[in-house]
Structure 1
C-alpha cells in the first residue's frame, strides 16, 4: 500500500501510530477461586470492542482494588480510553497516576502508553524519548519490549523514516510468540515496505547490511515488479525463497502474496468513482467528486492511479450495474456508490470482487461483508452516539432530550438513547417538538417539568379560592440536554430554554447546529451549545487552512454544508493507502480532515469528532490537545503509488 505523495504545501494527513496491545494486568489470586477477578467485566467489554465501557469498568475495579492491583488497573483504563479514541481524556487520566509509587515494570508501561498518546498528537520525538525511558528499565518482560518496538516503529513512521520503522518491527519479532502475533507483525512490516516506490527500495537494498532487512526489501521489489502477473509473481517468489532460504517471512504470507485473491496488497492503477451526478442529489455528489479530484490534483506522482467517474443516475437500483461495469473496465478499487439505497443495492446484488469504499453505511442487519469492503459516510446517528459519549466522559449521568418530530429526529433519538443507556446513563425525559413552529414553549416546559409546576399552582389556587404569587420552577435533576435540531431551529430553541430558567444546563448537539459559516450575528443565540464536527469545519489555522487556500476546487463549497461532503471526498481518496493499517489492528487510526478515523469490527469507518462550544456566536474549540491541523508526517519518497487494501481477518 502506498501513501499518495504531496507537495510540501499540500501535506495532508498524519500517519497515525499503531495501537498498543499491552498485556492485561494479571489479577492476584484470591482465597476463593470461584470469585470473579475484579476486572472481569472490563475484560469482557474490551474483548467485544466496547472500549469506553471497558475503561469505566477498569476504573471501577481500580477503585476497589488493593495497592498491588490498583495502578495496573488504572493503566488498563487509560489503554482502553486510547482504544476508544478518547486521547485527551486518556492524557488527563494517565497524569493522575502516581509515578513514584509504580514498580519499574508498571512505570515502563506508563511511559509506553504516554508515548502512544504523544504520537497521536504528532509529537513523535517526545514519543521516542518516552520509549527510551521505558527501555532503560532492567529485566523488562518480552511483552513490554514488543510493545516498545511497536510504538517506536509507529513513531519512526510518523517522522518519515519507513526503513527505521521496518527495522524496529524486525527486532520486535524476537519478543513475540505465537503464529498469529508473528503474522500480524510481518503484515505490518510488509505493508510499510510495500508502500515504498521501487527506486527507494533498490537504493535501500544496496546499502543494507542486515540480511533479514535485505530479504524483506528484495521480496518487496519482486512483488512490485511482477504485480498484476500472477504466474510470474509466484515464480519470482519461489526464486526469492531459494535465495533467502532461512528468511523469517512466513510461508503463509508468501502464499498470500502469490495469490490473486481480492483485496491482496498490490498496486492500484485505476480507481472507479460511482456517484449520482445526474440525480436529485447532484449537488451533493458534485461536492464529493470535487473533494476526490482535489486530492488527486494535489498528488504530483505521474504514475498515480487514473480515476474513472461513473454517473449512476437517479435510480439507486441500477448501482450494481455500474459497479459491475467498473470491475469489467479493470477498476482495482471502487469508491462509491453514494447513498444508502444505492449501497444496499450493490451489497445485495453485485459481486464484490475488488477493494471498495462504500460512501454510506449499510443497514444494521446486513450480512458481514468481505474484509476489503469498507463503509465510510457521515451518518447523523454516529454523531448522536458521540454526543452521548462526550457527555458521559464529561461526568454527566442524567439526560433529557428535545428532538424534532421527524423521521430524522426519531433516528437520532434512538441512536443517542441506545448508546447512552449502554454506557450506564439515565434518560429522564425525551420530548418531541414540531420543527415547523417557532414557539416551542410547550415542549420545553414539558421537558423541564414546568408544566407540572404550573398544574400544581392551579390546583392550589382552586383549593384556596384565590390567586397566588407564583414563579414556576424547572426540574433540578437534569445534568444536560441533548438537542436534536438544525441551526435554524436551534437559534429559536436555545433562547427559549434560557427563558424557562435553563441557561446553565449544558446543551449538547450535533454538527447540524453549525451551518459551516462563522456568523456571530445570527449565531449569538446558540451561545453555550456544544457540538461535534470535523476538523475541516472547525480548524481555521495551520495546515488545514493552508490546504483550504490551496485547493481551487474547494472554493464553491467553502463554509457551507456542502463543505462536509467535499471533505468526505478528500478523505475517501486519502485514506486508501492506510486501509491496510487500520484493518490490521484494533483501534488503529487515520487522522483525516473529516476526523480521526478507525475501523469498527463491522467494516465501518468510525469518526472521532472534534468538539466546540458557541461563544459570542462563534464556535470555539474545546479539544486543544489533539492538534487537528491536517499536518502530514508522510513517508518521504521520490515516487508514490497507491496500494489496494488487504483483507481483514
Structure 2
C-alpha cells in the first residue's frame, strides 16, 4: 500500500529561511571551522528537531561546501523527527551545483526518502538512480542508496526486492555490528512472509545468496517451536551453504536457547477492561481490533482471544499469565495505565506484548519483547510545540484548565517548548466550571494591568481618560489546552480582547470528531493536530471506514479515536519487525504515521488542520485527486518480533 501523501504547501519555515541566507560578503574571509558537537549530541539523544535547528544555524555561518553539508544534515534530522513538510522545504533549496557528486547523491537520497513518505515510489527510484550515477561515491553513501532502495521495494509490496538490496548493501558496510544489523533487517522481512510465498520465492530464486536466505527463513518458519527438527534442518543447511554470510550471525540466534525465533503467530490475546468504569472505551478498542480481523482475507490469520480484565488493575498480571498459558504467542493490551504498570512491575513479559498505553517506565528495563502504543495527550502537546516552532513562532502564551489533565498538558507542552528554544511569555489557568473566561484571558493578555494603570492615572489626575484596552504585543501565538466545549467559548473571547490575529494552536481534544459548521464556527482559525481517521473523509480512508464501521454507533465521536487505536493495534503487528530494525521506517495507519523509537514506543505523527467556516480543513495535505491519501491496511498475519537490539 502507498503511504500517506503529504503534499507541499506554499509556506517557507523560518529555519529554512535562515539556512538559505548567505551572510558572507564578496572578499570577506572564510568562516571559521564550526563545531557540530551540539547537533550531533542532540541526534544521539533522539532530539532530532533540536539537531535540525542547530545544523541550520551552522549552515548560516558556514561557506560552501560546508554550508550544504549542514543543510543536508538538517534535512536528515527533520526527516528523522517526522517533519516531512519541513524536510521537503529545506532540501529543495539546497544548491549543490558545481559541488562534488557526493553532495548530489546525498540530496537525491534525501529526496527519495521524502518521495517514499509521500507515496511517490517511482519518483524515488529515479532519484536513487541519479544518486547512483555519481562518481567516486564512498561506501557509506552506496550503502545508504541500497538501504533506501529496500524501503522503496517494501513500499511497492516487493519484500524480496528489498532483501536483494540489503544483500547488496552488505558489501559496502564494515564492522560486525553493522553487518549484523543489516542481516537482522533482511531476516525480519523474510520471516514475516507467509510460508507459501517463501516457498514460491525459493523456487524462483537464482542467486545463491538470496536462495540461501529464503531457504533458511523457510526452515525457521516450518520448524518453529520444534528444537530437534530445527537443529537437524540447520545442520543440513550449513552443509549445503558452507560460505553463506548468514552463518556469522543469524544461525547463532536460531540455535540459541533464548527466545529469538520469529515464528508465525497463531494465537493473539487482547486484554481489555470490558466490565469496568472504562467499559465503553474498552469496547471501542475491541470493536476496532476485531473489525480489522474480520476484514482480513488471510487464510492463516491468528485466532483472537479477548480477555476481560475487569475493573481491578492489580489483577491484570493474572489475566496476562492466563493468556500466555492458554497459548497466546502475542498479547495486545492491557488498556489502562494502572493495569499496564501492574504487569510492568511484575516484569515477567513472556511473549511479545503491545501495551495499549505509554508509561514513564523504560520498556527496555522489563523486556526486549515489550512495545507500547497509546494516545497520550502529552505526546500531542509536544507535537503542538514542534508544529508551532516549525511555523516560525518563538514567543508563546499558554491557557490551560485548572485540572490534573490541564496541568499535565501545560507541563508537557512547556517543557518541550522550552527545550526547543521557545519562550513562554505568559501562562494562565482557567476554571472549566466558569462560563465567562474574561478574567483569565485578560490576565493572559496583560489587559488587567492596562486597566489597573488607567484607574490609577484617573485616580491621581482626577480626570476621566479615554481608554481602549490593548492586548500585549510580545506573543506570537497561544497554546490552548481545551476540549471542544470550552474551546468554543474561549476562542471568541480571545478575539473580543483584541487577540483575533494571534494564532491559536491546540490538540485533538478541541475537535469532537463530528463536523458541525454551526457549533464550531467559533473555533475558526484554530490549528490542531489529529489522526487521519478523524480528518480524512475520502479516498482509501473513507473506503476503509465504510468497510469496517458500517453501522457502528459511535462513529465520528470521541470514541472513534479509540476505535482507530484498535484498528492500528491489529494492523501494526506484522510491521513491528520492520519498524524495530529500521529507524527510518514508517507505518501509515489510521491513527497517524507511526514510527518505533529505540525503547519500543510507537510514536505518532499527527495530521494538521485548521478550522475554517466551522469545519476542519487539512493544511498540509492537498488532495489532488480522490484516493490520493492512502493508508497501509494490509492485515497480514503477524510474525513474532525478534527482540529489539
TM-score (ref. length: structure 1): 0.92
Deviation at 1:257, TM superposition (A): 2.1
Structure 2 residue corresponding to 1:423, chosen from 405, 420, 425: 420
8 Å CA contact retained: 2:317, 2:346: yes
Structure 2 matches for 1:172-251, cutoff 5 A?
172-251=169-248
Deviation at 1:633, TM superposition (A): 8.8
Deviation at 1:262, TM superposition (A): 3.8
Partners of 1:431 and 1:141 in 2: how far apart? 54
Instruction: Give the SS at the match of 1:249.
Output: helix
Alignment correspondent of 1:21:
none
Please tell me whether residue 296 in structure 1 is matched to residue 277 in structure 2. Answer: no
Partners of 2:2 and 2:202 in 1: how far apart? 29
Partners of 2:535 and 2:481 in 1: how far apart? 20
Partners of 2:60 and 2:180 in 1: how far apart? 37
8 Å CA contact retained: 1:404, 1:432: yes
Deviation at 1:634, TM superposition (A): 6.0
- Structure 1, unmatched stretches of 5+, are 1-10, 17-34
Deviation at 1:36, TM superposition (A): 8.3
Distance verdict in 2 for CA 1:465–1:250, change over 3 Å: farther
Deviation at 1:252, TM superposition (A): 2.7
Partners of 1:244 and 1:587 in 2: how far apart? 32
1:99-150: CA deviations, max 9, x gaps? 3243211011100010000001111111001001111111211111111111
Distance verdict in 2 for CA 1:146–1:367, change over 3 Å: closer
Deviation at 1:162, TM superposition (A): 1.5
Please tell me whether residue 643 in structure 1 is matched to residue 634 in structure 2. Answer: no
Instruction: Give the SS at the match of 1:99.
Output: coil
8 Å CA contact retained: 1:158, 1:633: no
Alignment correspondent of 1:487:
484
Alignment correspondent of 1:503:
500
Structure 2 matches for 1:606-625, cutoff 5 A?
606-624=603-621
Deviation at 1:428, TM superposition (A): 0.7
Partners of 1:14 and 1:212 in 2: how far apart? 34
Please tell me whether residue 165 in structure 1 is matched to residue 162 in structure 2. Answer: yes
Deviation at 1:12, TM superposition (A): 8.9
Instruction: Give the SS at the match of 1:401.
Output: strand
Please tell me whether residue 377 in structure 1 is matched to residue 413 in structure 2. Answer: no
Instruction: Give the SS at the match of 1:501.
Output: helix
Partners of 1:489 and 1:468 in 2: how far apart? 35
8 Å CA contact retained: 1:398, 1:479: yes
8 Å CA contact retained: 1:535, 1:628: no
Structure 2 residue corresponding to 1:561, chosen from 558, 563, 576: 558
8 Å CA contact retained: 1:157, 1:634: no
Partners of 1:554 and 1:496 in 2: how far apart? 38
Alignment correspondent of 2:548:
551
8 Å CA contact retained: 2:3, 2:116: no
8 Å CA contact retained: 1:336, 1:357: yes
Alignment correspondent of 1:72:
69
Structure 1 residue corresponding to 2:44, chosen from 47, 62, 65: 47
8 Å CA contact retained: 1:159, 1:633: no
Superposition RMSD on alpha carbons, in Å? Answer: 1.9
Partners of 2:531 and 2:474 in 1: how far apart? 32
Structure 2 matches for 1:110-129, cutoff 5 A?
110-129=107-126
Deviation at 1:350, TM superposition (A): 4.9
Structure 2 residue corresponding to 1:342, chosen from 306, 321, 339: 339
Alignment correspondent of 1:599:
596
* Structure 1 stretch displaced more, 447-456 or 624-633: 624-633
8 Å CA contact retained: 1:15, 1:157: no
Deviation at 1:232, TM superposition (A): 1.5
Alignment correspondent of 1:631:
631
8 Å CA contact retained: 1:571, 1:592: yes
* Structure 1 stretch displaced more, 341-350 or 112-121: 341-350
Deviation at 1:266, TM superposition (A): 1.5
8 Å CA contact retained: 1:535, 1:629: no
Partners of 1:320 and 1:625 in 2: how far apart? 46
1:243-280: CA deviations, max 9, x gaps? 10011114331121234534642210000000000111
Partners of 2:151 and 2:209 in 1: how far apart? 20
Structure 2 matches for 1:74-113, cutoff 5 A?
74-113=71-110
8 Å CA contact retained: 1:320, 1:350: no
Alignment correspondent of 1:130:
127
8 Å CA contact retained: 2:274, 2:282: yes
8 Å CA contact retained: 2:576, 2:641: yes
Please tell me whether residue 408 in structure 1 is matched to residue 409 in structure 2. Answer: no
8 Å CA contact retained: 1:577, 1:643: yes
Partners of 2:551 and 2:224 in 1: how far apart? 35
8 Å CA contact retained: 1:494, 1:525: yes
Distance verdict in 2 for CA 1:503–1:135, change over 3 Å: same
Structure 2 matches for 1:515-526, cutoff 5 A?
515-526=512-523
Partners of 1:631 and 1:270 in 2: how far apart? 26
Partners of 1:39 and 1:101 in 2: how far apart? 24
Alignment correspondent of 1:252:
249
Structure 1 residue corresponding to 2:320, chosen from 309, 319, 323: 323
Deviation at 1:15, TM superposition (A): 12
Partners of 2:552 and 2:89 in 1: how far apart? 38
TM-score (ref. length: structure 2): 0.93
- Structure 2, unmatched stretches of 5+, are 7-31
8 Å CA contact retained: 2:5, 2:630: no
Instruction: Give the SS at the match of 1:520.
Output: coil
Distance verdict in 2 for CA 1:403–1:285, change over 3 Å: same
8 Å CA contact retained: 1:337, 1:358: yes
Partners of 1:566 and 1:633 in 2: how far apart? 15
Instruction: Give the SS at the match of 1:314.
Output: coil
Instruction: Give the SS at the match of 1:481.
Output: strand
Instruction: Give the SS at the match of 2:527.
Output: strand
8 Å CA contact retained: 2:348, 2:366: no
Partners of 2:314 and 2:2 in 1: how far apart? 36
* Structure 1 stretch displaced more, 400-409 or 591-600: 591-600
1:588-613: CA deviations, max 9, x gaps? 32111101111223322111100000
Please tell me whether residue 361 in structure 1 is matched to residue 319 in structure 2. Answer: no
The number of equivalent residue pairs is 617
Partners of 2:405 and 2:223 in 1: how far apart? 50
8 Å CA contact retained: 2:503, 2:525: yes
